[in-house]
């Protein structure tokens, strides 16, 4: 295991993840933190109970908080560029899908993020690092780490490359819903009533 300048042990595969992301960290400790599940942070602290104030310290939770906001901002910016004639409701629906747990987990799987996560041994035995919520949270944490390390531009580059197939696919759903309504598949559903107006 290599160490960064602050003496933090880096995951052996951190180099490979940086290549997948297309971004090299100036402060690799941020990437280390982004890849540390709270169970590993708790285990590393000797299993001691933490106060509410320090709960989650050393884990990726704070970076996840940041990454969630970074992703929301970058995605809103991109949606406004891509769909200049759409109003808030349609943009909001697109945004909700693009930042959903399922979408995040799918993108995290493309990065093979589960293989880079550090979790407590007992959690690893049951495969917690591969669950949708854990990899989705880790992806947000990685985006938060990229933002704190290099700013919005590298985070934007990662988001636009990783989410492009999803955003391109969104050009079709509205038409598909209209066709389903016309064919009766969604008859009586909220989507049909909305689409017929």
Active site residue ranges: 68, 140
Give the Cα separation of 129 and 127 in Å (integer). 5
| Cα four-point dihedral sign 123, 129, 131, 136 | positive
| Cα four-point dihedral sign 82, 84, 89, 92 | positive
Partners of 36 in beta bridges: 118
The answer to whether 97 touches 79, Cβ cutoff 8 Å, is no
The answer to whether 90 touches 97, Cβ cutoff 8 Å, is no
Residues in Cβ contact with 26 at an 8 Å cutoff, skipping those fewer than 6 apart: 149, 150
∠ CA(151), CA(154), CA(160), 5° rounding?
A: 130
Partners of 9 in beta bridges: 3
Residue closest to 110 by CA, chosen among 33, 38, 22, 187 = 22
Backbone angles phi, psi at 9, to 5 degrees: -65, 130
């Amino acid at each position: 295991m290599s160490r960064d300048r602050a003496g933090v042990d880096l995951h052996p595969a951190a180099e490979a993840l940086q290549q997948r992301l297309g971004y090299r960290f100036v402060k690799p400790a941020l990437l280390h933190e982004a890849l540390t599940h709270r169970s590993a942070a708790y285990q590393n602290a000797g299993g001691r109970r933490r106060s509410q104030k320090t709960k989650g310290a050393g884990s990726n939770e704070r970076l996840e908080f940041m990454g969630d906001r970074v992703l929301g901002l970058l995605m809103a910016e991109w949606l406004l560029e891509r769909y200049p004639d759409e109003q808030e409701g349609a943009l909001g629906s697109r945004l909700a899908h693009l930042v959903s747990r399922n979408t995040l987990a799918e993108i995290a799987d493309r990065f093979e993020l589960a293989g880079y996560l550090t979790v407590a041994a007992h959690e690893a035995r049951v495969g917690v690092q591969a669950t949708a919520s854990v990899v989705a949270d880790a992806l947000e944490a990685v985006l938060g780490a990229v933002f704190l390390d290099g700013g919005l531009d590298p985070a934007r580059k990662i988001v636009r490359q990783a989410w492009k197939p999803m955003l391109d696919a969104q050009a079709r759903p509205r038409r598909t819903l209209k066709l389903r309504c016309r064919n009766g598949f969604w008859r009586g559903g909220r989507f049909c009533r909305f689409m017929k107006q």
